[in-house]
Chains A and B, each alone.
Chain A
Amino acid sequence: GENVEQHPSTLSVQEGDSAVIKCTYSDSASNYFPWYKQELGKRPQLIIDIRSNVGEKKDQRIAVTLNKTAKHFSLHITETQPEDSAVYFCAAKRSGGGADGLTFGKGTHLIIQP
């Protein structure tokens, strides 16, 4: 089955600086890579996703890059703000084949220092 590794487990950055979170996956058939943000005690919420037919996607201060050859993808947050503090999870999935569940990484606790 799929295995997703996520690094770092904790990331502390100064407000206004950039943050980068990296994930690797094992199943070369995976073709969908979402990122979820989970605030303390809250539900995970999708912030951005990327499919295997593109290498990069951007949405305002958030971007995701995908390297299918190396089987890794990254989340980039620029101009970080206090409300970006949360746990971020990467995930991977392949369409079809009965593998309908997302496989999540263990999460990165992002701390924005004022």
Chain B
Amino acid sequence: GAGVSQSPRYKVAKRGQDVALRCDPISGHVSLFWYQQALGQGPEFLTYFQNEAQLDKSGLPSDRFFAERPEGSVSTLKIQRTQQEDSAVYLCASSPGASGYTGELFFGEGSRLTVL
């Protein structure tokens, strides 16, 4: 596709449910990032992949959050036992450069998660 694609765009979960959010980056992009954006706030870094390797997961808020990119392309962010404070927009971004690259991040439209 032409850009970063995320699905689902909207997800409503009951507290305690598990959710999985998918990101399809721009083809050939080495780097993939997940960000969490709460209402009225800036995106906050969650985790970073270079190809299939998860090089930085320092932003994941708890061990209920797990991300993978097994073949170096599509990535999935999984949240187990969702809680109300997990409600946010989850943004995926990709870039063509490897670790240390400073350049444009291409963001997806985001997945808006609402936990009831």
Partners in one complex: yes
A contact set with B: CB distance below 8 Å: 4, 6, 31-32, 34, 42-46, 49, 51, 89, 91, 93, 95-107
Please, which residue of chain B has its CB at the minimum distance from the CB of A98? B56
Q: Which residues of A contact B103 (CB under 8 A)?
A: 49
Of B13-21, B77-85, B104-112, the segment with at least 4 beta carbons within 8 Å of chain A is: B104-112
Q: How far is the CA of A102 from the CA of B100 in the complex (A)?
A: 11
Q: Nearest-CB distance from B19 to chain A (Å)?
A: 20
**A43 in contact with B41 given A31-B102, A32-B102 (CB within 8 Å):** no
Q: Which residues of A contact B62 (CB under 8 A)?
A: none
A51 near B102 with CB under 8 A, answer: yes
Q: Which residues of B contact A31 (CB under 8 A)?
A: 102
Q: How many residues of B contact A (CB 8 A)?
A: 27
A104 near B43 with CB under 8 A, answer: yes
**Interface residue B31 (Cβ < 8 Å from any Cβ of A):** yes
- Tell me what chain B mostly uses at the interface: helix, strand, loop, or mixed: loop
A100 near B44 with CB under 8 A, answer: no
Q: How far is the CA of A96 from the CA of B55 in the complex (A)?
A: 12
Binary interface encoding of chain B residues 40-81 relative to chain A, with 1 for a CB under 8 A from any of its CBs, else 0 = 111111001010000110010000000000000000000000
Q: How far is the CA of A89 from the CA of B48 in the complex (A)?
A: 20
B107 near A98 with CB under 8 A, answer: no
A44 near B99 with CB under 8 A, answer: no
B43 near A49 with CB under 8 A, answer: no
Interface centre among B59, B100, B104, by most A CB within 10 Å? B100
10 more A-B residue pairs beyond the given contacts A49-B103, A100-B48, with a C-beta to C-beta distance below 8 A:
A51-B102, A89-B42, A98-B55, A98-B56, A98-B99, A102-B43, A103-B45, A104-B42, A106-B42, A107-B41
Q: Nearest-CB distance from A6 to chain B (Å)?
A: 8
Q: Nearest-CB distance from B73 to chain A (Å)?
A: 18
